[in-house]
A and B are shown apart, each in its own frame.
Chain A
Amino acid sequence: MNIASALHDTRLLYMHHLRASLRTKVAVVFGMLQPLLYLLLFGPLLTRLNGVRGFGDHDPWQVFVPGILVQLVLFRSGFVGFALIADLRAGVVDRLRVTPVSRAAMLLGMVLRDTTVLVVQAILLLAAGLALGLRAPLPGLLIGLALAVLLATGIASLSYVLAMVTRREDAFASLLSSVTLPLMLLSGMLLPMSMAPGWLDAVSRCTPLRYVVDAVRAAFLGDYAASPVVVGTAVTVVLVAASVWWGARRFVRETA
Protein backbone atom coordinates (compact mmCIF):
# COMPACT_ATOMS: atom_id res chain seq x y z
CA MET A 1 0.00 0.00 0.00
CA ASN A 2 1.75 3.18 -1.08
CA ILE A 3 1.40 6.58 0.53
CA ALA A 4 -0.36 8.21 -2.43
CA SER A 5 -3.24 5.76 -2.45
CA ALA A 6 -3.45 5.89 1.36
CA LEU A 7 -3.81 9.68 1.16
CA HIS A 8 -6.36 9.37 -1.65
CA ASP A 9 -8.42 6.90 0.41
CA THR A 10 -8.10 9.01 3.57
CA ARG A 11 -9.42 12.07 1.74
CA LEU A 12 -12.33 10.07 0.25
CA LEU A 13 -13.35 8.60 3.58
CA TYR A 14 -12.83 11.90 5.43
CA MET A 15 -15.20 13.68 3.03
CA HIS A 16 -17.66 10.81 3.24
CA HIS A 17 -17.74 10.87 7.06
CA LEU A 18 -17.84 14.66 7.16
CA ARG A 19 -20.93 14.68 4.94
CA ALA A 20 -22.53 12.25 7.39
CA SER A 21 -21.76 14.63 10.28
CA LEU A 22 -23.17 17.59 8.36
CA ARG A 23 -26.41 15.66 7.90
CA THR A 24 -26.73 15.47 11.68
CA LYS A 25 -25.92 19.06 12.65
CA VAL A 26 -28.20 18.72 15.64
CA ALA A 27 -25.97 15.98 17.05
CA VAL A 28 -22.90 18.23 16.73
CA VAL A 29 -24.61 20.86 18.87
CA PHE A 30 -26.10 18.37 21.34
CA GLY A 31 -22.66 16.81 21.65
CA MET A 32 -21.50 19.90 23.45
CA LEU A 33 -24.49 20.19 25.71
CA GLN A 34 -22.69 18.60 28.65
CA PRO A 35 -19.70 21.00 28.69
CA LEU A 36 -22.02 23.94 28.09
CA LEU A 37 -24.11 22.94 31.09
CA TYR A 38 -20.95 22.78 33.19
CA LEU A 39 -20.12 26.31 32.07
CA LEU A 40 -23.58 27.63 32.75
CA LEU A 41 -24.62 25.74 35.87
CA PHE A 42 -21.30 25.00 37.58
CA GLY A 43 -19.02 27.84 36.45
CA PRO A 44 -20.84 30.61 38.36
CA LEU A 45 -20.20 28.79 41.67
CA LEU A 46 -16.46 29.18 41.13
CA THR A 47 -16.65 32.94 40.91
CA ARG A 48 -17.33 32.87 44.67
CA LEU A 49 -14.12 31.03 45.48
CA ASN A 50 -12.05 34.17 45.95
CA GLY A 51 -9.03 33.59 48.15
CA VAL A 52 -8.92 29.82 47.56
CA ARG A 53 -5.48 28.67 46.48
CA GLY A 54 -5.36 28.41 42.69
CA PHE A 55 -8.42 30.60 42.25
CA GLY A 56 -8.00 33.72 44.30
CA ASP A 57 -5.19 35.17 42.28
CA HIS A 58 -6.84 34.59 38.86
CA ASP A 59 -10.08 35.09 37.03
CA PRO A 60 -11.95 31.83 37.82
CA TRP A 61 -13.05 31.48 34.20
CA GLN A 62 -9.39 31.31 33.18
CA VAL A 63 -9.06 28.27 35.40
CA PHE A 64 -12.40 26.68 34.63
CA VAL A 65 -12.81 27.02 30.84
CA PRO A 66 -9.53 25.16 30.08
CA GLY A 67 -10.75 22.26 32.21
CA ILE A 68 -14.08 22.18 30.40
CA LEU A 69 -12.28 22.36 27.04
CA VAL A 70 -10.25 19.24 27.89
CA GLN A 71 -13.40 17.60 29.21
CA LEU A 72 -15.09 18.23 25.87
CA VAL A 73 -12.18 16.52 24.13
CA LEU A 74 -12.12 13.57 26.52
CA PHE A 75 -15.83 12.85 26.30
CA ARG A 76 -16.54 13.70 22.67
CA SER A 77 -13.47 11.96 21.29
CA GLY A 78 -13.69 9.13 23.78
CA PHE A 79 -17.19 8.23 22.63
CA VAL A 80 -16.61 8.24 18.86
CA GLY A 81 -16.11 4.47 18.98
CA PHE A 82 -19.86 3.94 19.35
CA ALA A 83 -20.35 4.99 15.73
CA LEU A 84 -17.81 2.37 14.65
CA ILE A 85 -19.67 -0.35 16.56
CA ALA A 86 -22.84 0.65 14.70
CA ASP A 87 -20.93 0.46 11.40
CA LEU A 88 -19.50 -2.93 12.34
CA ARG A 89 -23.00 -4.20 13.01
CA ALA A 90 -24.42 -2.75 9.79
CA GLY A 91 -21.69 -4.53 7.81
CA VAL A 92 -20.19 -1.24 6.60
CA VAL A 93 -16.74 -2.09 7.97
CA ASP A 94 -16.65 -5.50 6.28
CA ARG A 95 -17.88 -3.96 3.05
CA LEU A 96 -14.96 -1.53 3.13
CA ARG A 97 -12.51 -4.24 4.15
CA VAL A 98 -13.32 -6.25 1.03
CA THR A 99 -12.33 -3.27 -1.12
CA PRO A 100 -8.61 -2.58 -1.63
CA VAL A 101 -8.90 0.52 0.60
CA SER A 102 -5.90 1.40 2.76
CA ARG A 103 -6.55 0.14 6.31
CA ALA A 104 -4.85 3.15 7.89
CA ALA A 105 -7.09 5.41 5.77
CA MET A 106 -10.17 3.74 7.26
CA LEU A 107 -9.05 4.91 10.70
CA LEU A 108 -7.61 8.29 9.69
CA GLY A 109 -10.68 9.28 7.67
CA MET A 110 -12.83 8.86 10.80
CA VAL A 111 -10.33 10.46 13.19
CA LEU A 112 -9.82 13.55 11.01
CA ARG A 113 -13.56 13.97 10.69
CA ASP A 114 -13.92 13.78 14.49
CA THR A 115 -11.14 16.32 14.92
CA THR A 116 -12.86 18.68 12.48
CA VAL A 117 -16.14 18.41 14.36
CA LEU A 118 -14.28 18.97 17.61
CA VAL A 119 -12.65 22.17 16.37
CA VAL A 120 -16.11 23.57 15.70
CA GLN A 121 -17.37 22.49 19.11
CA ALA A 122 -14.28 23.85 20.88
CA ILE A 123 -14.62 27.25 19.18
CA LEU A 124 -18.28 27.41 20.19
CA LEU A 125 -17.34 26.46 23.74
CA LEU A 126 -14.66 29.16 23.94
CA ALA A 127 -17.10 31.69 22.53
CA ALA A 128 -19.58 30.73 25.24
CA GLY A 129 -16.81 31.12 27.83
CA LEU A 130 -15.93 34.57 26.52
CA ALA A 131 -19.59 35.52 26.67
CA LEU A 132 -19.75 34.42 30.32
CA GLY A 133 -16.76 36.51 31.31
CA LEU A 134 -13.61 34.66 30.31
CA ARG A 135 -10.74 36.98 29.52
CA ALA A 136 -7.73 35.43 27.82
CA PRO A 137 -5.22 36.61 25.18
CA LEU A 138 -5.81 35.39 21.62
CA PRO A 139 -2.48 33.49 21.35
CA GLY A 140 -3.38 31.73 24.59
CA LEU A 141 -6.77 30.72 23.21
CA LEU A 142 -5.14 29.45 20.03
CA ILE A 143 -2.58 27.39 21.95
CA GLY A 144 -5.44 25.91 23.99
CA LEU A 145 -7.34 25.11 20.81
CA ALA A 146 -4.27 23.49 19.22
CA LEU A 147 -3.67 21.29 22.27
CA ALA A 148 -7.34 20.29 22.29
CA VAL A 149 -7.25 19.33 18.61
CA LEU A 150 -4.07 17.30 19.03
CA LEU A 151 -5.44 15.50 22.05
CA ALA A 152 -8.71 14.78 20.20
CA THR A 153 -6.79 13.00 17.43
CA GLY A 154 -5.10 10.70 19.93
CA ILE A 155 -8.16 9.95 22.04
CA ALA A 156 -10.36 9.30 18.99
CA SER A 157 -7.80 6.80 17.65
CA LEU A 158 -7.81 4.96 20.96
CA SER A 159 -11.60 5.01 21.08
CA TYR A 160 -11.88 3.37 17.65
CA VAL A 161 -9.41 0.65 18.53
CA LEU A 162 -11.22 -0.14 21.78
CA ALA A 163 -14.52 -0.24 19.86
CA MET A 164 -12.97 -2.55 17.28
CA VAL A 165 -11.70 -4.89 19.98
CA THR A 166 -14.82 -4.94 22.21
CA ARG A 167 -17.34 -4.86 19.33
CA ARG A 168 -20.31 -4.49 21.69
CA GLU A 169 -21.85 -1.29 22.99
CA ASP A 170 -22.28 -2.54 26.56
CA ALA A 171 -18.70 -3.76 26.88
CA PHE A 172 -17.35 -0.63 25.24
CA ALA A 173 -19.45 1.66 27.43
CA SER A 174 -18.35 0.10 30.71
CA LEU A 175 -14.71 0.10 29.61
CA LEU A 176 -15.03 3.72 28.58
CA SER A 177 -16.58 4.96 31.80
CA SER A 178 -14.04 3.10 33.89
CA VAL A 179 -11.27 4.96 32.03
CA THR A 180 -12.72 8.41 31.39
CA LEU A 181 -14.11 9.21 34.84
CA PRO A 182 -10.84 8.67 36.77
CA LEU A 183 -8.95 10.51 34.04
CA MET A 184 -11.34 13.42 34.31
CA LEU A 185 -11.25 13.65 38.12
CA LEU A 186 -7.48 13.21 38.34
CA SER A 187 -6.75 15.83 35.69
CA GLY A 188 -8.14 18.60 37.86
CA MET A 189 -10.57 19.65 35.17
CA LEU A 190 -13.26 20.87 37.54
CA LEU A 191 -11.14 22.23 40.38
CA PRO A 192 -7.39 22.77 40.10
CA MET A 193 -5.15 20.17 41.65
CA SER A 194 -3.29 22.94 43.47
CA MET A 195 -6.14 22.55 45.99
CA ALA A 196 -5.45 18.84 46.37
CA PRO A 197 -3.83 17.10 49.38
CA GLY A 198 -0.34 15.79 48.66
CA TRP A 199 -1.27 12.20 47.84
CA LEU A 200 -4.01 13.20 45.39
CA ASP A 201 -1.69 15.66 43.70
CA ALA A 202 0.90 12.88 43.38
CA VAL A 203 -1.61 10.46 41.84
CA SER A 204 -2.85 13.20 39.53
CA ARG A 205 0.69 13.74 38.27
CA CYS A 206 0.73 10.14 37.03
CA THR A 207 -2.11 10.83 34.58
CA PRO A 208 -1.47 12.60 31.27
CA LEU A 209 -4.48 14.92 31.15
CA ARG A 210 -3.28 16.75 34.29
CA TYR A 211 -0.44 18.20 32.21
CA VAL A 212 -2.70 19.10 29.31
CA VAL A 213 -5.14 20.95 31.57
CA ASP A 214 -2.31 22.79 33.33
CA ALA A 215 -0.82 23.79 29.98
CA VAL A 216 -4.08 25.22 28.66
CA ARG A 217 -4.58 27.13 31.93
CA ALA A 218 -1.10 28.63 31.73
CA ALA A 219 -1.68 29.54 28.09
CA PHE A 220 -4.94 31.31 28.98
CA LEU A 221 -3.03 33.32 31.58
CA GLY A 222 -0.55 34.36 28.94
CA ASP A 223 2.43 32.40 30.35
CA TYR A 224 3.37 30.87 26.99
CA ALA A 225 6.95 30.06 27.89
CA ALA A 226 6.18 28.82 31.39
CA SER A 227 7.02 25.23 32.20
CA PRO A 228 3.37 24.00 32.33
CA VAL A 229 2.89 24.94 28.66
CA VAL A 230 6.15 23.32 27.61
CA VAL A 231 5.60 20.16 29.66
CA GLY A 232 1.91 19.97 28.72
CA THR A 233 2.66 20.33 25.04
CA ALA A 234 5.37 17.68 25.25
CA VAL A 235 3.04 15.27 27.08
CA THR A 236 0.27 15.90 24.53
CA VAL A 237 2.55 15.36 21.55
CA VAL A 238 3.99 12.14 22.97
CA LEU A 239 0.53 10.90 24.00
CA VAL A 240 -0.96 11.65 20.60
CA ALA A 241 1.94 10.18 18.63
CA ALA A 242 1.83 7.00 20.72
CA SER A 243 -1.98 6.70 20.51
CA VAL A 244 -2.20 7.25 16.79
CA TRP A 245 0.73 4.95 16.07
CA TRP A 246 -0.53 2.17 18.31
CA GLY A 247 -4.12 2.76 17.25
CA ALA A 248 -3.30 2.60 13.57
CA ARG A 249 -1.25 -0.56 14.06
CA ARG A 250 -3.97 -2.32 16.01
CA PHE A 251 -6.63 -1.12 13.60
CA VAL A 252 -4.69 -2.31 10.58
CA ARG A 253 -4.17 -5.68 12.23
CA GLU A 254 -7.82 -6.01 13.24
CA THR A 255 -8.99 -5.13 9.74
CA ALA A 256 -6.22 -6.88 7.75
Chain B
Amino acid sequence: MIKASGLARTFTTKRGTVEAVRGVDFHVARGEIVGFLGPNGAGKTTTLRMLTTLLAPTAGTAVVAGHDLRTDPAGVRRRIGYVAQGGGAAPGVPVGEELGLQARLYGVPRPTERIAELCAQLELDGLLDRPAQALSGGQRRRLDLALGLVHRPPLMFLDEPTAGLDPHSRGNLWHHIRRMREEDGATVFLTTHYLEEADALCDRILIIDHGRIVAEGTPDELKRRVSGDVVTLDLAVPDHGDRADAGDVEATARARAALAELPQVREAVVTGTSVRLTVDQGDRALAQLVRSLDAAGVEVAALRMARPTLDDVFLTLTGRSLREAAA
Protein backbone atom coordinates (compact mmCIF):
# COMPACT_ATOMS: atom_id res chain seq x y z
CA MET B 1 0.00 0.00 0.00
CA ILE B 2 2.88 2.34 0.78
CA LYS B 3 6.44 2.01 -0.43
CA ALA B 4 8.62 4.92 0.59
CA SER B 5 12.20 5.20 -0.58
CA GLY B 6 14.63 7.81 0.64
CA LEU B 7 11.80 10.21 1.46
CA ALA B 8 13.33 13.39 2.86
CA ARG B 9 12.32 16.94 3.58
CA THR B 10 14.36 19.93 4.62
CA PHE B 11 12.94 23.30 5.60
CA THR B 12 14.78 26.57 5.12
CA THR B 13 14.33 28.97 7.99
CA LYS B 14 16.03 32.21 8.94
CA ARG B 15 18.41 30.28 11.15
CA GLY B 16 19.43 27.85 8.44
CA THR B 17 18.13 24.58 7.08
CA VAL B 18 16.31 22.05 9.21
CA GLU B 19 16.31 18.44 8.14
CA ALA B 20 12.89 17.39 9.37
CA VAL B 21 12.96 13.99 7.67
CA ARG B 22 16.33 12.56 6.68
CA GLY B 23 15.50 9.88 4.16
CA VAL B 24 13.08 7.22 5.37
CA ASP B 25 12.47 3.85 3.70
CA PHE B 26 9.58 1.62 4.66
CA HIS B 27 6.67 -0.30 3.30
CA VAL B 28 3.14 -0.90 4.52
CA ALA B 29 1.21 -3.95 3.35
CA ARG B 30 -2.49 -4.02 2.49
CA GLY B 31 -4.70 -4.39 5.55
CA GLU B 32 -2.01 -3.48 8.10
CA ILE B 33 -2.35 -0.94 10.87
CA VAL B 34 1.07 0.63 11.08
CA GLY B 35 2.07 3.24 13.63
CA PHE B 36 4.71 5.91 13.39
CA LEU B 37 5.91 6.38 16.97
CA GLY B 38 8.19 9.14 18.10
CA PRO B 39 8.39 12.29 20.20
CA ASN B 40 7.05 15.63 18.99
CA GLY B 41 9.33 17.10 16.34
CA ALA B 42 10.67 13.71 15.27
CA GLY B 43 9.36 14.12 11.72
CA LYS B 44 6.12 12.14 11.96
CA THR B 45 3.77 14.82 10.69
CA THR B 46 6.19 15.95 7.99
CA THR B 47 6.38 12.40 6.66
CA LEU B 48 2.61 12.08 6.75
CA ARG B 49 2.17 15.37 4.91
CA MET B 50 4.52 14.16 2.20
CA LEU B 51 2.66 10.86 1.85
CA THR B 52 -0.69 12.67 1.58
CA THR B 53 0.57 15.03 -1.19
CA LEU B 54 0.40 18.10 1.05
CA LEU B 55 4.13 18.66 1.06
CA ALA B 56 6.58 17.99 -1.75
CA PRO B 57 9.57 15.84 -0.68
CA THR B 58 12.98 17.42 -1.19
CA ALA B 59 14.38 13.98 -1.99
CA GLY B 60 13.14 10.46 -2.52
CA THR B 61 9.69 9.37 -3.46
CA ALA B 62 6.92 6.97 -2.50
CA VAL B 63 4.29 4.87 -4.16
CA VAL B 64 1.05 5.38 -2.23
CA ALA B 65 -2.02 3.25 -2.96
CA GLY B 66 -0.49 2.26 -6.28
CA HIS B 67 0.32 5.77 -7.51
CA ASP B 68 3.59 7.65 -7.50
CA LEU B 69 3.57 10.65 -5.19
CA ARG B 70 5.60 12.81 -7.55
CA THR B 71 4.16 11.93 -10.94
CA ASP B 72 0.52 11.25 -10.06
CA PRO B 73 -0.57 13.09 -6.90
CA ALA B 74 -4.17 13.22 -8.18
CA GLY B 75 -4.21 9.42 -8.37
CA VAL B 76 -2.97 9.23 -4.79
CA ARG B 77 -5.59 11.72 -3.59
CA ARG B 78 -8.50 9.73 -4.96
CA ARG B 79 -7.46 6.64 -3.00
CA ILE B 80 -6.46 7.99 0.40
CA GLY B 81 -8.23 9.49 3.37
CA TYR B 82 -6.46 11.87 5.73
CA VAL B 83 -7.26 13.11 9.20
CA ALA B 84 -4.93 15.90 10.30
CA GLN B 85 -3.79 16.31 13.88
CA GLY B 86 -6.07 19.30 14.41
CA GLY B 87 -8.89 17.93 12.27
CA GLY B 88 -10.27 19.70 9.24
CA ALA B 89 -13.83 20.77 9.98
CA ALA B 90 -14.66 24.47 9.91
CA PRO B 91 -15.91 25.49 13.38
CA GLY B 92 -19.07 27.24 12.25
CA VAL B 93 -20.26 24.84 9.55
CA PRO B 94 -22.94 22.25 10.39
CA VAL B 95 -21.78 18.63 10.36
CA GLY B 96 -24.17 17.66 7.57
CA GLU B 97 -22.90 20.38 5.25
CA GLU B 98 -19.27 19.48 5.82
CA LEU B 99 -19.94 15.81 5.08
CA GLY B 100 -22.08 16.70 2.08
CA LEU B 101 -19.38 18.89 0.56
CA GLN B 102 -16.70 16.28 1.18
CA ALA B 103 -18.80 13.50 -0.39
CA ARG B 104 -19.58 15.58 -3.47
CA LEU B 105 -15.97 16.68 -3.93
CA TYR B 106 -15.00 13.00 -4.08
CA GLY B 107 -17.96 12.28 -6.37
CA VAL B 108 -19.40 9.71 -3.96
CA PRO B 109 -22.54 8.14 -5.48
CA ARG B 110 -25.73 8.71 -3.43
CA PRO B 111 -24.02 11.00 -0.90
CA THR B 112 -27.02 11.29 1.43
CA GLU B 113 -27.15 7.55 1.99
CA ARG B 114 -23.39 7.31 2.46
CA ILE B 115 -23.50 10.07 5.07
CA ALA B 116 -26.36 8.38 6.94
CA GLU B 117 -24.37 5.13 6.96
CA LEU B 118 -21.21 6.86 8.24
CA CYS B 119 -23.12 8.72 10.94
CA ALA B 120 -24.61 5.46 12.16
CA GLN B 121 -21.18 3.79 12.22
CA LEU B 122 -19.42 6.67 13.93
CA GLU B 123 -22.16 7.59 16.41
CA LEU B 124 -22.86 10.96 14.81
CA ASP B 125 -26.59 10.43 14.45
CA GLY B 126 -28.68 13.47 15.24
CA LEU B 127 -25.71 15.85 15.02
CA LEU B 128 -26.03 16.80 11.34
CA ASP B 129 -27.41 20.27 12.03
CA ARG B 130 -24.90 21.06 14.72
CA PRO B 131 -21.85 23.21 13.92
CA ALA B 132 -18.52 21.47 14.55
CA GLN B 133 -17.64 23.92 17.33
CA ALA B 134 -20.64 22.68 19.35
CA LEU B 135 -19.41 19.06 19.36
CA SER B 136 -17.56 17.34 22.20
CA GLY B 137 -13.91 16.41 21.68
CA GLY B 138 -14.76 12.80 20.91
CA GLN B 139 -17.62 13.71 18.54
CA ARG B 140 -15.37 16.19 16.78
CA ARG B 141 -12.74 13.52 16.24
CA ARG B 142 -15.34 11.10 14.89
CA LEU B 143 -16.50 13.82 12.49
CA ASP B 144 -12.89 14.15 11.31
CA LEU B 145 -12.78 10.38 10.76
CA ALA B 146 -16.08 10.54 8.87
CA LEU B 147 -14.73 13.31 6.61
CA GLY B 148 -11.70 11.17 5.81
CA LEU B 149 -13.73 8.01 5.25
CA VAL B 150 -16.56 9.40 3.15
CA HIS B 151 -15.23 7.97 -0.14
CA ARG B 152 -14.25 4.59 1.37
CA PRO B 153 -10.51 5.01 0.81
CA PRO B 154 -8.45 1.83 0.80
CA LEU B 155 -5.73 3.69 2.71
CA MET B 156 -6.28 5.97 5.70
CA PHE B 157 -3.73 8.36 7.20
CA LEU B 158 -4.35 9.49 10.77
CA ASP B 159 -2.12 12.09 12.41
CA GLU B 160 -2.23 11.75 16.20
CA PRO B 161 -5.83 10.51 16.08
CA THR B 162 -6.46 10.61 19.82
CA ALA B 163 -4.27 13.49 20.99
CA GLY B 164 -6.08 15.48 23.65
CA LEU B 165 -8.95 13.02 24.12
CA ASP B 166 -10.05 11.62 27.46
CA PRO B 167 -9.35 7.89 28.04
CA HIS B 168 -12.92 6.86 27.32
CA SER B 169 -13.06 8.69 23.97
CA ARG B 170 -9.63 7.33 23.12
CA GLY B 171 -10.77 3.74 23.62
CA ASN B 172 -13.86 4.48 21.57
CA LEU B 173 -11.78 5.87 18.72
CA TRP B 174 -9.45 2.86 18.77
CA HIS B 175 -12.54 0.71 18.32
CA HIS B 176 -13.55 2.72 15.25
CA ILE B 177 -10.05 2.58 13.77
CA ARG B 178 -9.94 -1.22 14.14
CA ARG B 179 -13.34 -1.39 12.52
CA MET B 180 -12.09 0.47 9.45
CA ARG B 181 -9.78 -2.43 8.82
CA GLU B 182 -12.13 -5.22 9.82
CA GLU B 183 -15.22 -4.03 7.97
CA ASP B 184 -13.87 -1.99 5.08
CA GLY B 185 -10.54 -3.77 4.69
CA ALA B 186 -8.74 -0.44 4.93
CA THR B 187 -5.03 -0.09 5.52
CA VAL B 188 -4.29 2.40 8.30
CA PHE B 189 -1.13 4.43 8.76
CA LEU B 190 -1.10 6.54 11.88
CA THR B 191 1.28 8.63 13.91
CA THR B 192 1.27 8.78 17.67
CA HIS B 193 3.41 9.75 20.59
CA TYR B 194 1.30 7.64 22.93
CA LEU B 195 2.97 4.33 23.74
CA GLU B 196 -0.29 2.71 24.83
CA GLU B 197 -1.84 3.68 21.53
CA ALA B 198 0.91 2.18 19.41
CA ASP B 199 0.82 -0.93 21.59
CA ALA B 200 -2.94 -1.38 21.58
CA LEU B 201 -3.67 -0.52 17.98
CA CYS B 202 -0.76 -1.27 15.71
CA ASP B 203 0.30 -4.49 14.00
CA ARG B 204 3.64 -2.95 13.30
CA ILE B 205 5.49 0.09 14.58
CA LEU B 206 8.11 2.33 13.01
CA ILE B 207 10.03 4.28 15.61
CA ILE B 208 11.20 7.64 14.34
CA ASP B 209 13.62 9.99 16.05
CA HIS B 210 15.35 13.08 14.65
CA GLY B 211 13.95 12.40 11.19
CA ARG B 212 15.21 8.81 10.93
CA ILE B 213 13.55 5.46 11.45
CA VAL B 214 15.51 3.89 14.28
CA ALA B 215 13.59 0.63 14.65
CA GLU B 216 10.77 -1.30 13.10
CA GLY B 217 8.75 -4.35 14.11
CA THR B 218 5.66 -5.64 15.86
CA PRO B 219 5.19 -4.27 19.38
CA ASP B 220 6.33 -7.66 20.77
CA GLU B 221 9.39 -7.87 18.54
CA LEU B 222 10.43 -4.40 19.56
CA LYS B 223 9.99 -5.17 23.24
CA ARG B 224 12.02 -8.35 22.93
CA ARG B 225 14.91 -6.25 21.70
CA VAL B 226 15.08 -4.76 25.14
CA SER B 227 17.06 -6.90 27.58
CA GLY B 228 14.39 -9.34 28.71
CA ASP B 229 11.42 -9.28 31.05
CA VAL B 230 11.51 -8.51 34.73
CA VAL B 231 10.31 -11.28 37.07
CA THR B 232 9.92 -10.58 40.78
CA LEU B 233 9.67 -13.46 43.29
CA ASP B 234 8.50 -13.10 46.90
CA LEU B 235 9.80 -16.05 48.89
CA ALA B 236 7.82 -17.77 51.61
CA VAL B 237 10.18 -17.96 54.57
CA PRO B 238 10.19 -20.90 57.03
CA ASP B 239 9.74 -19.82 60.68
CA HIS B 240 12.98 -19.99 62.77
CA GLY B 241 11.47 -18.60 65.96
CA ASP B 242 13.90 -16.27 67.75
CA ARG B 243 16.28 -15.67 64.78
CA ALA B 244 13.89 -14.04 62.30
CA ASP B 245 16.33 -13.33 59.49
CA ALA B 246 18.05 -16.72 59.47
CA GLY B 247 15.19 -18.07 57.36
CA ASP B 248 15.58 -15.24 54.88
CA VAL B 249 19.23 -15.94 54.37
CA GLU B 250 18.70 -19.65 53.93
CA ALA B 251 15.78 -19.27 51.50
CA THR B 252 17.42 -16.65 49.34
CA ALA B 253 20.66 -18.64 49.19
CA ARG B 254 18.82 -21.72 48.00
CA ALA B 255 16.82 -19.68 45.48
CA ARG B 256 20.01 -18.13 44.12
CA ALA B 257 21.64 -21.51 43.68
CA ALA B 258 18.64 -22.90 41.83
CA LEU B 259 18.31 -19.87 39.57
CA ALA B 260 21.99 -19.82 38.68
CA GLU B 261 21.47 -23.13 36.84
CA LEU B 262 18.91 -21.58 34.47
CA PRO B 263 20.37 -20.15 31.24
CA GLN B 264 17.42 -17.73 30.72
CA VAL B 265 18.17 -15.83 33.91
CA ARG B 266 20.59 -13.02 33.22
CA GLU B 267 20.62 -11.21 36.49
CA ALA B 268 19.28 -11.71 39.99
CA VAL B 269 19.05 -8.98 42.61
CA VAL B 270 17.98 -9.87 46.17
CA THR B 271 16.27 -7.38 48.45
CA GLY B 272 15.02 -8.87 51.73
CA THR B 273 12.88 -11.85 50.78
CA SER B 274 12.20 -10.73 47.23
CA VAL B 275 14.32 -11.57 44.22
CA ARG B 276 14.26 -9.44 41.06
CA LEU B 277 15.29 -11.33 37.95
CA THR B 278 15.98 -10.23 34.40
CA VAL B 279 14.85 -13.07 32.18
CA ASP B 280 14.93 -13.71 28.43
CA GLN B 281 11.44 -14.35 27.07
CA GLY B 282 9.90 -14.31 30.52
CA ASP B 283 6.57 -15.79 29.40
CA ARG B 284 8.31 -19.01 28.31
CA ALA B 285 10.80 -19.11 31.18
CA LEU B 286 8.24 -18.76 33.95
CA ALA B 287 7.17 -22.43 34.15
CA GLN B 288 10.80 -23.64 34.21
CA LEU B 289 11.58 -21.09 36.89
CA VAL B 290 8.84 -22.34 39.18
CA ARG B 291 9.78 -26.00 38.66
CA SER B 292 13.46 -25.36 39.51
CA LEU B 293 12.60 -23.46 42.65
CA ASP B 294 10.19 -26.21 43.66
CA ALA B 295 12.85 -28.88 43.17
CA ALA B 296 15.26 -26.87 45.33
CA GLY B 297 12.63 -26.70 48.09
CA VAL B 298 12.12 -22.94 47.82
CA GLU B 299 8.57 -21.94 48.47
CA VAL B 300 7.29 -19.01 46.38
CA ALA B 301 4.64 -16.78 47.95
CA ALA B 302 4.13 -14.48 44.97
CA LEU B 303 5.37 -14.21 41.43
CA ARG B 304 5.09 -11.19 39.15
CA MET B 305 6.29 -10.56 35.62
CA ALA B 306 6.54 -7.14 33.93
CA ARG B 307 7.03 -6.94 30.18
CA PRO B 308 9.15 -4.08 28.96
CA THR B 309 7.13 -1.17 27.58
CA LEU B 310 7.70 0.60 24.29
CA ASP B 311 9.14 3.37 26.39
CA ASP B 312 11.90 0.97 27.46
CA VAL B 313 12.43 0.24 23.77
CA PHE B 314 12.73 3.90 22.95
CA LEU B 315 15.06 4.39 25.89
CA THR B 316 17.31 1.56 24.73
CA LEU B 317 17.39 2.84 21.14
CA THR B 318 17.90 6.54 21.74
CA GLY B 319 19.11 6.84 25.32
CA ARG B 320 16.11 9.07 26.06
CA SER B 321 12.72 8.23 27.45
CA LEU B 322 9.90 8.94 25.01
CA ARG B 323 8.06 10.80 27.73
CA GLU B 324 10.92 13.16 28.41
CA ALA B 325 11.70 13.52 24.70
CA ALA B 326 8.12 14.52 24.08
CA ALA B 327 8.05 17.04 26.88
Using a Cβ–Cβ cut-off of 8 Å, how many residues does chain B contribute to the interface with A? 27
B89 lies within 8 A of chain A by Cβ: yes
Chain A interface main SS type: helix
Instruction: Please judge, given known A-B contacts A20-B93, A92-B88, whether A98 and B52 are in contact too, CB under 8 Å.
Output: yes
B77-118 interface code vs A (CB 8 A; 1 in, 0 out) = 110111010111111110001000110111000000000000
A residues contacting the other copy or chain, number (CB 8 A): 22
Instruction: Determine whether the beta carbon of B105 is less than 8 Å from that of A9.
Output: yes
Task: Tell me whether A98 and B80 are in contact in the complex, defined as CB-CB below 8 angstroms, given that A1-B74, A90-B86 are known contacts.
Answer: yes
B105 & A96 in contact (Cβ 8 Å cutoff): yes
Residue on A nearest B85 in the bound complex, by CB: A91
Contact A95 to B92, CB < 8 A, known contacts A12-B101, A16-B101, A101-B105:
no
Min distance, Cβ B40 to any Cβ of chain A, angstroms: 18
User: Please, which residues of chain A bring their CB within 8 A of the CB of B102?
Assistant: 95, 99
Residues of chain B within 8 A of A101, CB atoms compared? 105
Q: B residues within 8 Å of A by Cβ?
A: 52-54, 56, 73-74, 77-78, 80-82, 84, 86-93, 97, 101-102, 104-106, 147
- The answer to whether A100 and B84 touch (CB under 8 A), given A20-B93, A23-B92, is no
Point out the residues of chain A lying under 8 angstroms from B105, CB to CB.
9, 12, 96, 99-101
A100 to chain B, nearest CB (A): 5
Q: How far is the CB of B135 from chain A (nearest CB, A)?
A: 13
**Closest chain A residue to B49 by CB distance?**
A94
Can you list 5 A-B contacts (CB < 8 A)?
A91-B84, A91-B89, A94-B84, A94-B88, A95-B89
A223 contacts chain B at the CB level, 8 A cutoff = no
Chain B residues positioned under 8 Å from A23 (CB to CB): 92
With a CB–CB cut-off of 8 A, which chain A residues contact B52?
Answer: 98
Contact B104 A12 (CB under 8 A): yes
- Whether the pair A100, B88 counts as a contact (CB closer than 8 A) is no
**Contact residue among B73, B77, B80, B89 (Cβ-Cβ distance under 8 Å from A90):** B89
Query: Can you name the residue of chain B whose Cβ is closest to the Cβ of A93?
Result: B88
Q: Which of A129-174 contact B (CB under 8 A)?
A: none
CB distance from A11 to the nearest CB of B (A): 10
Check B90 against A97 for contact (C-beta < 8 Å). Answer: no
- List residues of chain A with CB within 8 A of the CB of B106: 99-100
Question: Closest approach, in angstroms, between the C-beta of A23 and any C-beta of chain B?
Answer: 7
A23 to B97, CA, bound (A): 12
Docked pose: A256 CA to B93 CA in angstroms = 25
**With the chains together, A20 CA to B93 CA distance in Å?**
7
Known: A99-B106, A100-B105. 16 other contacts (CB 8 A): A9-B105, A12-B104, A12-B105, A16-B101, A90-B86, A90-B88, A90-B91, A91-B84, A91-B89, A95-B89, A97-B53, A98-B77, A99-B77, A100-B78, A256-B56, A256-B73
